[in-house]
Structure 1
């Protein structure tokens, strides 16, 4: 069997101050069958100049206006040729330079391979363990920076652009309905930069989560449970 090819995608817009570190993080991975794609939303701050510095290490990059992060990620899915696609967007980093190598050695070519996340806030870092899949009615089981998904599944389950923040949660449910096989790997996959996430974003995310969970769960009592859970989450944030 040929060695599994992983497409790593970085989506960026005006990230000149942080993209170089993300690029270096990708090209320093010890795994040696990586396709690296960068999709830039038409940056005007020098981002493209930094990308050009590393063109020999980048498989493909393009720059054009988009409709937001999920639109850019959909473009990357359609450009990718790897067996798996992994999103490491600007400002985020792999947990170690052996991350991809460690993940692949623990997998059996499952459709979705996911793990844990190191979440970096302004003054701290914390480890967010992936949630059990049976709790998916109330949360995304994994951070989208901590999952590898087979390209064949993503091509048929692109991000729904009607969701501004929680399109990854909606996509998870679509993958589940597509009978994707999920594999948990007990590894910290990425360091996710949470500094730009505002309380306003959090409220919109919870609103979108509520609708997605209701859409994908049946039963009167289950729907009451979902509504109550998200109502409490939204309102307890105010206290």
Structure 2
């Protein structure tokens, strides 16, 4: 089973090395690494090429050109990927363990499933990834959870290529919540099966686009509501439950 991992970058010189190393040092060897760069003006591509040379046994595909934002970049990555399974490791993020992909693949094989998502994601300090700020703990999937604002952490979600072929990637009319809209489209599909892997999959540096400013929080709430109503999975109360459920993440730190 070949796994395609996609990383979208834009002026990510400060963090791209730790991101790439977390992928390239995996114990699972059948990995294709797709780097989609938004025409960075810093040293991002220099770091990418240095790491590519350091790990010559890893299949790396690099595309650098202007894009319409991260979701456009992720769509380009999906279209470029050739693996049986597709997942994302964003340029500020890291896979939690060197065995993470091996465990995900084993779950795909034993559960015979269309998607595997991790139980946990840890938000870590931007400059010191050993310091955990939030701990996102998931649970086994039940479709009723969607109306309560539940979703798996997107960076922990790995899906088969067939799922992406069926659900046509990310909707670019969303600026911040395209991942939530995509997850709702996929998880409400009764023909698909998902498996829950209860371990930390991803470490994410705090300070992402969705919570970077009050303006972005307002935009995200509006887009969340649009995603919820357009996918017929809930109402305004779903947004409230979605946000309230996050409070516990600041007390659980693994």
Instruction: Report the TM-score when normalising by structure 1.
Output: 0.86
Whole-Å separation in 2 of the counterparts to 1:111 and 1:33: 19
Does 1:10 pair with 2:7? yes
CA–CA separation in structure 2 for the residues paired with 1:229 and 1:48 = 41
Looking at structure 1, the residues matched to 23 and 232 of structure 2 have their Cα atoms a distance apart, in angstroms, of 38
> 5 Å matches for 1:32-71?
32-55=29-52, 56=56, 57-71=58-72
Residue in 2 that maps onto 1:109: 112
Q: In the aligned structure 2, how far is the partner of 1:138 from the partner of 1:201?
A: 22
For residues 91-170 of structure 1, the aligned pairs below 5 Å read: 91-107=92-108, 108-115=111-118, 116-121=120-125, 124-131=132-139, 132-133=141-142, 134-157=144-167, 158-170=169-181
Deviation at 1:45, TM superposition (A): 0.3
Structure 2 distance, partners of 1:229, 1:17, is 37
Separation in structure 1 between the aligned mates of residue 201 and residue 4 of structure 2, nearest angstrom: 15
**1:109 Cα deviation after fit:** 3.3
Q: Please, which of 183, 197, 201 is the counterpart of residue 216 of structure 2?
A: 201
- Give the Cα separation in 1 of the matches to 2:242 and 2:152: 19
Q: How far apart, CA to CA, are the structure 2 residues paired with 1:125 and 1:48?
A: 30
**Unaligned runs of at least 5 residues, structure 1:** 235-239
Q: SS state of the match for residue 54, structure 1?
A: helix
1:216 is the counterpart of 2:217: no
Q: Which SS does the other structure have where 1:8 is aligned?
A: strand
* CA-to-aligned-CA distance 1:65-123 (integer Å, 9 cap, x gap): 00000000000100111111010010100111111112222332311100121122456
TM-score (norm 2): 0.81
Between 159-168 and 206-215, the greater mean CA deviation after superposition: 206-215
Q: Tell me which of 166, 173, 187 is aligned to 1:176.
A: 187
The aligned residue for residue 197 of structure 2 is: 185
Structure 2: distance between partners of 1:8 and 1:48: 17
Report the alpha carbon displacement of residue 176 of structure 1 after superposing the two structures with TM: 3.1
Over residues 142-163 of structure 1, what are the superposed CA-to-partner deviations in whole Å (9 max), with x where a residue is unaligned? 1111010111211332100011
Matching of residue 89 in structure 1 with residue 101 in structure 2: no
Q: CA deviation at 1:28?
A: 0.4
Q: Secondary structure at the match of 2:196?
A: strand
Distance 1:40 1:126, change over 3 A: same
Identify the range of structure 1 (91-100 vs 151-160) with the bigger mean alpha-carbon deviation. Answer: 151-160
Q: In structure 2, which of residues 23, 27, 31 is the aligned counterpart of residue 30 of structure 1?
A: 27
- The size of the alignment, in residue pairs, is 226
Contact 2:124 2:205 in 1 (8 A): yes
- From the superposition, tell whether residues 233 and 203 of structure 1 become closer, same or farther in structure 2 (CA, over 3 Å): farther
